[in-house]
Structure 1
Amino acid sequence: MSLLSFLRSQLFVTLPVPTHDLTDQVIVVTGANTGLGFEAARYFLNLNAAKVVLAVRSTSKGEAAKDDLESSSSRPPGVLEVYTLDMESSASVEAFVTKVNSLPRVDVLLLNAGKVTQDFYLVGGNESTITVNVVHTFLLALLMLPKLRYVSKEIGIVPRIVIVASDRHAMTNLPEWTTENTFATLNDKNNARMHERYYVSKLLEILLMRALAKELAAQEIRVSVSALTPGFCQSNLLRDIRGLWAVQLAVMNHFLSRSTEEGARTLVHAASLGWEANGQYLNDCEIDKCVSIFSSSETLDSV
């Protein structure tokens, strides 16, 4: 995305307010106790979803978020449920999926949880950003596929897996891709470029989303997988950033950022789409193109 395109998007695009009726639908939102996930959950609640699962690492914070949402809504108690999910733990992901599978249906799996850090450390054998944003995000998606496929067949709908990516995916050319083992290179502290790691993780999300969507379509599995950018929004995602980068982001946040509620509109919009969104990247609530060097069909086919 060029600077002019970014400024146009941030300053001059008015995102549509979601009005889609979600009656009977069950929606799972990861990272739902704060920021974009919290505001998206508010929309889902007020758009008549039958159930909204707030997937959170801290149960106490999840319950506080639930109380906040219920107090500001006319919906009766019982629509919101809090489930524990630690995206740094594969065991937690597996336990979470087991619990979600007990629900009668799941219409939307909104994969919003993510992290940004300048500090290199390994979690589950991978650098922590890659573990949370990529490995465990797609572990969760893949483990949920049998349930979503069942819902698709039995109810006759198109369940949606929606990944919250970022337009910052275009800020890296992923040099690790040219090495013998991309993930091994990303896990090498001596060669880690942590100032780009978040961008790398978001590019990998888009590439893997497209690969998964292509495979689902080939197998005629009617589960849609898409990714979106919410734009640059006010949130606490960048709370651990320090130094000059933190100063730059603070200036951008003051002058250019969307409100959290505005950013959440992009999540809700993507969650309301059907099969037409499979394999697509969405920007400003419209199907857009991935703008990295990996956009060409030849490169994507090699992924």
Structure 2
Amino acid sequence: MVGSKDLPPSTTPFFPNVFFRNQFRAKPQWPAPGTSLSGQTAIVTGANTGLGYEAAAQLLGLQLSRLVVAVRSLERGEAAAAKLRQLHPKATVDVWELDMSSYASVQAFARRADAQLQRIDMVILNAGLVRLAFHKIEATGHEETMQVNYLSTVLLAVLLLPILKAKGSPNGPPPRLSIVNAALSLAAKFPNRAANPLLPSFDDPAAFDAREHYHSSKLLAHMFLWQLADRVAPADVVVNLADPAWCKGTDLGRDVQSAPMRAAAKLFGAATGRPKAVGASCLVDAVVNKGQESHGCFLMSWQIHPFSAFLYTPEGAVVIQRVWDETLAELDFAGVRGILESMGA
């Protein structure tokens, strides 16, 4: 298999070349006619709105039997689930609470999945945010973008690995776990790359840069997957990253307070953004169309794409190891080292 690590790093400038191709030239890869997910169970986080909701609807449209909508607000989750149930009355749609700013909530969600789901075939970790102002999560001490987009996301991914391995179909393909990423990870300047320790440097309000924090939160996922893929056998669980590209009509920029900025973002989205259905198809592609060949890969424009070019450099190798070591140390309370050892790749 030729994965993202095996590809030569892309030297194409991100803007406008990569952006233009990703937004306008790439062709969607929809599931083949007759694809059926009957009997299967999926979890989609952040599925009450935007791309998460659209991806959930597309999975149900493929006759998915059971869907777990994982959301911070049960009220909004139930409202979304009611629409999904009306459209797909034969499916079971459950709403479970998941607050990605809380380690305790992430752990509770994983325990519930283990206790209450007999089978899990696919997981889309879609929940994420963009913070335009610095905000620290008091319970963890971390800046919120990093907490939600990176730390809590990789914690949930690791906690779900042995559960997926145990609850996948005995006669079907291995379970798939896809983490929603972004092409903007390729544009990250990563100005604090030399910080040692690294992760605490994102928690300094004086160094906060909304754009770079978001880009870096996605870049860190590249680094984590670089190491994780060697510790998880693709025959047990397929893990990948999926980029839906820039899409119109999502709530990713819900933190924007400035009316001019909201108007500019809306105008830019209308002119360049993909429809939500097309963006969400990237997430569905990652868990339905793609198989073991996508393990440990960054999927962009429905294709296996190289990671950020920085990861292929000698400096990148050092930082990848630092991110891995610091992340495992941060998540030691949840026993992540033991979980990864138990996967026995």
- The TM-score normalised by the length of structure 2 is 0.81
Partner of 2:107: 94
Partner of 1:267: 283
In 2, the alpha carbon distance for the partners of 1:145 and 1:115 equals: 24
Partner of 1:276: 293
Partner of 2:197: 181
Q: Does 1:233 align with 2:250?
A: no
Cα offset, 1:212, TM superposition: 1.0
In 2, the alpha carbon distance for the partners of 1:6 and 1:60 equals: 36
Cα offset, 1:242, TM superposition: 4.3
Aligned residues with identical type, % of pairs: 32
Match of 2:85 among 55, 70, 84: 70
Cα offset, 1:156, TM superposition: 5.8
Residues 240 and 279 of structure 1, relative CA distance in 2, 3 Å threshold: same
Contact 1:169/1:292 (CA < 8 Å) preserved in 2? no
* 1:61-85 per-position Cα deviation (integer Å, ceiling 9, x unaligned): 1111111112223x42x52111111
In 1, the alpha carbon distance for the partners of 2:102 and 2:238 equals: 26
Partner of 1:119: 133
Cα offset, 1:59, TM superposition: 0.9
Partner of 2:236: 222
Contact 2:174/2:235 (CA < 8 Å) preserved in 1? no
SS at structure 2 position matched to 1:175: coil
Partner of 1:286: 303
Equivalent position amino acid for 1:11 in 2 = F
In 2, the alpha carbon distance for the partners of 1:298 and 1:223 equals: 30
SS at structure 2 position matched to 1:258: coil
Cα offset, 1:251, TM superposition: 3.0
1:244-259 equivalences under 5 Å are 246=262, 248-259=264-275
Cα offset, 1:153, TM superposition: 8.5
Residues 44 and 282 of structure 1, relative CA distance in 2, 3 Å threshold: same
In 1, the alpha carbon distance for the partners of 2:276 and 2:317 equals: 32
Residues 15 and 92 of structure 1, relative CA distance in 2, 3 Å threshold: same
Residues 280 and 205 of structure 1, relative CA distance in 2, 3 Å threshold: same
SS at structure 1 position matched to 2:96: strand
Q: Does 1:130 align with 2:143?
A: no
**Greater relative contact order (Cα < 8 A, sep 6+):** 2
In 2, the alpha carbon distance for the partners of 1:176 and 1:88 equals: 23
RMSD of aligned Cα (Å): 2.1
Equivalent position amino acid for 2:41 in 1 = V
Cα offset, 1:300, TM superposition: 4.4
Contact 1:159/1:274 (CA < 8 Å) preserved in 2? no
Q: Does 1:13 align with 2:49?
A: no
Q: Does 1:167 align with 2:194?
A: no
In 2, the alpha carbon distance for the partners of 1:192 and 1:301 equals: 23
Shifted more, 292-301 versus 88-97: the winner is 292-301
Cα offset, 1:281, TM superposition: 0.6
Equivalent position amino acid for 2:218 in 1 = K
Equivalent position amino acid for 1:267 in 2 = L
Equivalent position amino acid for 1:100 in 2 = A
In 2, the alpha carbon distance for the partners of 1:237 and 1:41 equals: 17
Contact 1:170/1:203 (CA < 8 Å) preserved in 2? yes
Partner of 1:140: 156
Size of the aligned set, in residue pairs, is 299
Equivalent position amino acid for 1:112 in 2 = N
Contact 1:231/1:258 (CA < 8 Å) preserved in 2? yes
Cα offset, 1:180, TM superposition: 1.1
